Chain A
Amino acid sequence: GENVEQHPSTLSVQEGDSAVIKCTYSDSASNYFPWYKQELGKGPQLIIDIRSNVGEKKDQRIAVTLNKTAKHFSLHITETQPEDSAVYFCAAGGGGDYKLSFGAGTTVTVRA
């Protein structure tokens, strides 16, 4: 089955700086890679996703890059703000069974 590894597990950044979270996956059949943000006491919120026919996607301050050859993808958050503090999860799926395999999560803290 698919195995997704996510690094780092915790990330502390100064407000205004950038944050980068990296994930690797094992199943070459995976073709869909979403990122979720989970705030305390809430369910995960889909913030951006990318499919394997695209190498990069951007939405305002967040961007995701995908390297299918190396089987890794990354989330970039620029100009971080206190409200960006949350747990971020990467996931991989689309191998035919439509389930998502999640990384273990990254706790991001933005220092004011």
Chain B
Amino acid sequence: GAGVSQSPSNKVTEKGKDVELRCDPISGHTALYWYRQSLGQGLEFLIYFQGNSAPDKSGLPSDRFSAERTGGSVSTLTIQRTQQEDSAVYLCASSSSGTDTDTQYFGPGTRLTVL
């Protein structure tokens, strides 16, 4: 079946603008994760959704970052009032609820550039 998809693949925005990044997980996967990959910080966990449970937001770097997951499927990561340090590749991953719950499958990422 189809893998994890993300859109847009590239996003260029001006400092101070809001952006929305979308993730479509593998069909049937109940867990969804957002990570950020930047030159200075490597790969960092941002937020985790598992079914209908409250999300684990412990990795969000500031209150400008938020995410939601509608209907247990598609997720949107929103960054408000973007700053230049938000420039990074934002990766989404999903995993199943079966026996292989800790194997995460990644999308191609969204490259965000804040000018």
Question: Are chains A and B native binding partners rather than an unrelated pairing?
Answer: no
